């Protein structure tokens, strides 16, 4: 019968039933319609990535009518702040680069969709859309129309109730059952027992062995066949192609052996091979899941939130301690960590981290506010609806908008090797088979199968992810939480470190504060205290803690000016807190001399009142840290303060350190950009709010967290302030991790070369090759884990020796 294949989905079609459109064959009107949609919207590149990548759209009349119910839709949405809504949909058909491409170009098919992101491993697409322009119902119908029907089930939507995929466990169990029983039945053949009754029943036992091998061959190994088939379809040969070929050749050869009574075949080796390879795959999966679990839920995420305790007492707690019903205080520029109900009269929420839209949304008391928003303006109070999803914060942080362009050298090496590995392996296998077939047929088949099985780029591909994943876990335990594994590679390349001064090398917790100026009344102090309560600036927090306890009052108007100060109004009284220029300080007009220390000026109703001077306390271990860092890095201190601290810093820091004062936030950014233009790899260490621009511009931005919520997607890592003295430890560990990747690359290549040599020369049985293949992966994973743990412990001991005697004395101006 004359047949062809559908251009869209690849299904075989009989000539009589085919539909021809635009000189292309289609199996049904559905596939033709999808092609027309893509063609009309200039999306035919979909077919360039893979041959026939689509799925035939199914009839879904009435199936998703429930999505017209607003209360049901509300349960499915991740974010709902009119007009913007965000939904994550599971798409089982996602399987290749074409799928990713079309699903990330949905905005071309539907104008109401602003963007869409695919998570290939979880087979989900996250869609941001305008509710006034398109409904979720319409989006789902569009997905169904183009062959990407989503799986929607309210019962299974939460991660807690989602069913786990146990197919690999079942396949492993079936393969083990087949392998064990075939080995048992093959004993007489192994020992060539010549008993009459055994010879009589030999055909029966061989038939039984053949039957037992079928479940392992057809079911347990099916994943390799499917992967190999899709790989050949896409013209990108993966490692499953030689494995699938090896299994099929071994099965055919064993059937021929039994059918023509040449021997008992190799069903024991075949089932053993499938079992051991699945065992290796299960090990890989377990290790990946372990690293992912550690990353999302167990690593220390050093963001502190202010919670209202008993008697309205403010307490700073880690995000993961927040529970439903808690009352939280959110200051200016602080991130809202979880969904909640607004208690305060009104709020202005900036959802740009979530939606990309920078225009703040006004909310009233009783309105729902969503995680990921940023409070702009005065202090607000909210009630928590559910505990913090740390994985949500990580997802927000990893948004493509905040990613930096990084060249991953190890990844390009791995990709290059993987691309040519399989074709080269197939060539070696066929050449070896062609050589041995004229010498010994049995050996030729053994050599062919062993070559296909023993060589494996998996260990090579896993080297970097496992090394970096383990290092992510190790630094997380030391209270440095990094955005992703790429940051480790960036840290290893750093040659210049820029430190902010206030709140970074100085501690917020300890400072000697003195006031100079006119006496402030109790009313003035109350207004000042409540104004500072809404601010997250390090100096604001220090001064707030320094001032006496006062009654809480509601501020009428509040505005914070980056790099300048705060302006607040209460019952017609306007208070300004900040820099001298901002508050109207003028030496000629006041009796106050220009402060030589870090200072916060005060003015009331545009009349200059006085200044609070801070004699900063520097962080424990600062002198030792800088002395050690100067040997390998160029060190710079950038400060927005005046030069009053220069003498102190010159005394306690190495003379090679560059000190730059009076820098506004935009000037800090330009300074770092200038360093990068000179070819420097810059790490910026600062606070996450005032230095957001500089942190984003630097190659690596580390935010110091000290009892305040300073989370900003602009930074690459968050370090708890108590671990500041360990910065060199983190830098050295990142360099060691790059060394481990190179060593394990060499180890993996050595395994492949030695394994192939033994296989080609006929000294390696296929079953032994099957055992060695997962063992190579286990060896590499064990090696990188042991080495990274070893270096971490070694560096930890080094840090302890260098910082013996901590806590060190605090350095302050005499």
For residue range 601-656, list pLDDT tens digits in order: 999 998 999 999 887 788 878 888 999 899 899 999 988 777 777 888 888 899 89
pLDDT class of 680 with cuts at 50, 70, 90: very high
pLDDT class of 658 with cuts at 50, 70, 90: very high
pLDDT class of 419 with cuts at 50, 70, 90: low
pLDDT attached to residue 17: 67
Strands 12-14 and 658-660: unpaired
The answer, yes or no, to whether residue 278 has pLDDT greater than 60, is yes
The answer, yes or no, to whether residue 555 has pLDDT greater than 80, is yes
pLDDT attached to residue 491: 92
* Average pLDDT value for residue range 340-356: 82
* Average pLDDT value for residue range 583-590: 65
Q: C-alpha angle 683/685/687, rounded to 5°?
A: 145
pLDDT attached to residue 155: 47
* Average pLDDT value for residue range 726-737: 92
pLDDT attached to residue 674: 93
pLDDT attached to residue 809: 38
Where is 578: in which H helix or E strand?
strand 573-578
Instruction: Identify the CA nearest to 635 among candidates 646, 647, 625, 621.
Output: 625
The answer, yes or no, to whether residue 303 has pLDDT greater than 70, is no
Q: Is 468 within 8 Å of 482 (Cβ atoms)?
A: no
The answer, yes or no, to whether residue 115 has pLDDT greater than 80, is yes
The answer, yes or no, to whether residue 139 has pLDDT greater than 70, is yes
* Measured distance CA(49)–CA(33) in Å, rounded: 20
Of 33-37, 406-410, 606-610, which one has max mean pLDDT? 606-610
Q: Is 244 within 8 Å of 252 (Cβ atoms)?
A: no
* Measured distance CA(61)–CA(728) in Å, rounded: 62
pLDDT attached to residue 808: 40
pLDDT class of 294 with cuts at 50, 70, 90: very low
| Choice among 284-298, 377-391, 686-700 with the minimum mean pLDDT | 284-298
The answer, yes or no, to whether residue 361 has pLDDT greater than 90, is no
* Measured distance CA(720)–CA(475) in Å, rounded: 11
Of 276-280, 579-583, 674-678, which one has max mean pLDDT? 674-678
Q: C-alpha angle 566/571/576, rounded to 5°?
A: 20
pLDDT class of 305 with cuts at 50, 70, 90: confident
pLDDT attached to residue 121: 66
Average pLDDT, the chain: 79
> Which residue has 């679990």 as its token pair?
293
* Measured distance CA(678)–CA(70) in Å, rounded: 56
pLDDT attached to residue 569: 92
- Cβ neighbours of 631 (radius 10 Å): 9
Q: Would residue 163 be called left, alpha or beta, if left means φ above 0 and alpha means ψ between -120 and 50 degrees?
A: beta
The answer, yes or no, to whether residue 163 has pLDDT greater than 60, is no
pLDDT class of 225 with cuts at 50, 70, 90: confident
- Using a pLDDT cut of 70, give the percent of the chain over it: 79
pLDDT class of 768 with cuts at 50, 70, 90: confident
Per the model's pLDDT, the better-predicted residue between 179 and 401 turns out to be 179
Instruction: Report CA-CA distances (Å) from 246 to 221, 268, 279, 342, 684.
Output: 11, 14, 18, 63, 53
Quickly count helices (H) and strands (E) in the chain. Answer: 28, 30
Query: Which ranges constitute the DSSP H helices of 260-299?
Result: 267-293
The 10s digit of each residue's pLDDT in 473-513 is 888 888 888 877 778 888 998 999 999 887 788 876 656 78
The answer, yes or no, to whether residue 546 has pLDDT greater than 50, is yes
Of 454-458, 570-574, 581-585, which one has max mean pLDDT? 570-574
Q: Is 111 exposed, middle or buried (0-12, 13-18, 19+ CB in 10 A)?
A: exposed
Cis status, amide bond into 654, omega within 30 of 0: no
pLDDT class of 734 with cuts at 50, 70, 90: very high
Of 189-198, 407-416, 449-458, which one has max mean pLDDT? 449-458
| Choice among 156-160, 361-365, 744-748 with the minimum mean pLDDT | 156-160
Q: Is 209 exposed, middle or buried (0-12, 13-18, 19+ CB in 10 A)?
A: buried
- Three-state DSSP at 725 gives helix
Here the tokens at position 678 are 């000179």
pLDDT attached to residue 53: 62
pLDDT attached to residue 395: 59
pLDDT attached to residue 300: 42
* Measured distance CA(590)–CA(163) in Å, rounded: 72
């Amino acid at each position: 019968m004359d047949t062809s294949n559908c251009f869209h989905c690849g299904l075989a079609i009989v000539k009589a039933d085919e539909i021809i459109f635009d000189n292309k064959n289609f199996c049904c009107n559905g596939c033709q319609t999808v092609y027309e949609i893509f063609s009309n919207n200039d999306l035919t590149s979909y077919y360039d990535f893979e041959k026939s990548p689509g799925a035939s759209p199914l009839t879904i009349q009435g199936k998703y009518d429930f999505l017209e119910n607003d209360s049901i839709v509300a349960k499915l949405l991740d974010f709902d702040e009119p007009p913007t809504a965000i939904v994550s949909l599971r798409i089982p058909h996602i399987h290749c680069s074409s799928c990713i491409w079309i699903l990330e170009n949905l905005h071309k098919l539907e104008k109401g969709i602003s963007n869409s992101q695919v998570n290939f491993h979880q087979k989900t697409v996250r869609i941001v859309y305008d509710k006034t322009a398109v409904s979720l119902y319409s989006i789902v119908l569009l997905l169904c129309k183009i062959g990407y029907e989503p799986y929607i089930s309210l019962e299974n939507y939460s991660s807690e109730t989602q069913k786990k995929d146990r197919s690999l466990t079942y396949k492993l169990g079936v393969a083990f059952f087949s392998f064990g029983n075939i080995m048992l039945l093959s004993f007489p053949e192994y020992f060539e027992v010549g008993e009459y009754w055994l010879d009589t029943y030999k055909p029966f036992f061989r038939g039984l062995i053949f039957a037992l091998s079928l479940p392992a061959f057809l079911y347990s190994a099916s994943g390799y066949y499917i992967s190999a088939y899709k790989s050949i379809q896409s013209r990108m040969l993966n490692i499953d192609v030689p494995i699938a070929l090896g299994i099929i050749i071994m099965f055919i050869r064993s059937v021929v052996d039994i059918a023509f009574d040449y021997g008992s075949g190799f069903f024991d080796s075949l089932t053993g091979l499938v079992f051991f390879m699945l065992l290796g795959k299960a090990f890989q999966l377990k290790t990946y899941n372990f690293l992912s679990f550690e990353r999302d839920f167990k690593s220390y995420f050093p963001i502190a939130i202010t919670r209202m305790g008993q008697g309205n007492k403010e307490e700073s707690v880690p995000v993961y301690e927040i529970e439903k019903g808690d009352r939280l205080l959110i200051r200016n520029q602080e991130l809202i960590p979880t969904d909640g109900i607004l208690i305060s009269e009104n709020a202005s929420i900036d959802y740009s981290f979530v939606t990309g839209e920078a225009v703040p949304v006004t909310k009233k008391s009783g309105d729902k506010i969503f995680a990921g928003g940023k409070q702009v303006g005065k202090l607000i109070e909210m009630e928590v609806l559910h505990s913090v999803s740390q994985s949500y914060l990580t997802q927000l942080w990893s948004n493509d908008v905040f990613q930096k362009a990084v060249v991953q050298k190890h990844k390009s090496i791995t990709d290059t090797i993987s691309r040519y590995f399989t074709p080269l392996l197939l060539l070696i296998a066929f050449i070896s088979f062609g050589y041995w077939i004229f010498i010994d047929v049995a050996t030729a088949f053994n050599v062919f199968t062993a070559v296909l099985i023993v060589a494996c780029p998996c260990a090579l591909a896993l080297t970097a992810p496992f090394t970096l994943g383990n290092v992510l876990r190790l630094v997380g335990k030391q209270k440095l939480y990094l955005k992703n594994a790429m940051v480790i590679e960036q840290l290893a390349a750093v040659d210049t470190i820029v430190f902010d001064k206030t709140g970074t090398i100085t501690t917020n917790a300890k400072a000697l504060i003195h006031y100079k100026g006119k006496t402030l009344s109790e009313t003035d102090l109350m207004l000042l205290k409540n104004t500072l309560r809404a601010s997250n600036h390090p100096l604001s927090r220090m001064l707030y803690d320094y001032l006496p306890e006062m009654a809480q009052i509601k501020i009428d108007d509040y505005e914070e000016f980056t790099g300048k100060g705060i302006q607040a109004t209460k019952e017609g009284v306007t208070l300004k807190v900040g820099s001298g220029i901002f508050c109207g300080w003028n030496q000629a007009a006041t009796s106050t001399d220009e402060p030589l220390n870090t200072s916060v000026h005060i003015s009331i109703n545009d009349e200059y009142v006085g200044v609070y001077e801070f004699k900063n306390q520097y962080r424990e271990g600062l002198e030792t840290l800088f002395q050690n860092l100067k040997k390998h890095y160029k060190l710079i201190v950038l400060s927005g303060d005046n030069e009053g601290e220069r003498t102190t810093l010159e005394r306690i820091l190495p003379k090679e350190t560059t000190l730059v004062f009076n820098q506004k936030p935009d000037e800090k950014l330009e300074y770092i950009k200038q360093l990068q233009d000179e070819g420097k790899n810059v790490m910026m260490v600062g606070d996450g709010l005032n230095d957001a621009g500089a942190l984003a511009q630097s190659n690596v931005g580390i935010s110091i967290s000290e009892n305040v919520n300073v989370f900003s997607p602009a930074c690459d890592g968050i370090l708890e302030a108590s671990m500041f003295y360990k910065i060199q430890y983190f830098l050295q560990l990142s360099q060691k991790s790059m060394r481990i990747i190179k060593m394990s690359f060499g180890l993996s290549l050595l395994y492949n070369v030695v394994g192939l040599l033994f296989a080609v020369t006929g000294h390696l049985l296929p079953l032994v090759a099957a055992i060695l293949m997962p063992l190579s992966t286990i060896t590499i994973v064990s090696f990188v884990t042991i080495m990274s743990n070893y270096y971490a412990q070694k560096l930890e001991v080094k840090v302890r020796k260098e910082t013996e005697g901590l806590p060190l004395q605090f350095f302050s101006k005499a």
